[in-house]
Amino acid sequence: MTERIPESRSIGVLLLAVILPLAFSACSSDTDEAVFFTGSSLVEKWDVRRFFPTKVTYNAGLSGAGIDYVESQGKQFKGENVVLIIGGNDVVSVDDTEAYVERYLRMLQNMEAKRIYLYSILPRLAFESDGYEKVRLLNKKIREGVTERLDNVVYIDVFDLFLEGGRLNEQYFYDGTHLNEWGYALISGELKKVLL
């Protein structure tokens, strides 16, 4: 069903559609800064563009990465906003907790990022053998170090969100280590609280 519309009215609408956007497009916001995601496979497999559709995002996550990967990125993110999940692949091989945490904090400092949104090391099935004692200790020391020494780090503690009754809540994982859709929705939700 159609009806005849005077040509002048159509042209009027067209002009409005062209003029209004141009009038509003003179400047952009200071708060619209790019966000760089880096870290282990938990980051690499994270579809950040879908979970943060209004942000300018770049994903530099790498499967199997430990803190040596982030150290190797050097000052690539200097002055930028960075989201970081790292450490899960190092936990088993860490013997000297103090030395590891010191290295971890130095890594954060050396990034010289404007702001770092740092997730706690996430639990995984492989860490259950000691009741998550070791990874809890690392998270505690990293958190204390960050609070005392680094002003530019926002610590996002999600560790206990992935446990139920002290065991891994497998509804958030597809293999006991890597997150599924629900797991990513959970960590994305926590980040949105501080990022958006």
Partner 1 sequence: MRRNGMTRVVALAAVSVVASCLYAQVGVGLRDNQYVHIGYTWKEQWNVTLEHSVFSQKFSTQYVRFLLSYKQQWGNWNIKAIPYYGTSYNGDFYNLGMAVDVHWRLLDGWGLTGVVNPHYDSALDYLTCFTAGTDIHLYKGITFLVQYSTVPEYRMKEERCKLGLRFAYGNLSVTPMLSVPTDGEGKHIRLLCSFDFSF
List residues near partner 1 by CB under 8 A. Answer: 1-5, 9-10, 12-14, 16-18, 20-21, 24-25, 27-34, 44-45, 47, 49-50, 53-59, 185, 189, 192, 196
- The CB-of-66 to partner 1 minimum distance in angstroms stands at 20
Is 35 or 153 the residue whose CB approaches partner 1 more closely? 35
What gap in Å lies between CA 142 and CA 135, rounded to an integer? 10
- The CB-of-61 to partner 1 minimum distance in angstroms stands at 9
Residue 85 phi, psi dihedral angles, 5° rounding? -125, 110
Is 70 or 105 the residue whose CB approaches partner 1 more closely? 70
Any idea what the Cα angle at residue 70 is, between residues 151 and 180, rounded to 5°? 95
- The CB-of-31 to partner 1 minimum distance in angstroms stands at 5
Q: Is 2 helix (H, G, I), strand (E, B) or coil?
A: coil
- The CB-of-51 to partner 1 minimum distance in angstroms stands at 9
CA atoms lying within 13 Å on the CB side of residue 21: 5
β-strand 115-119 against 163-164: which pairing, if any? Answer: unpaired
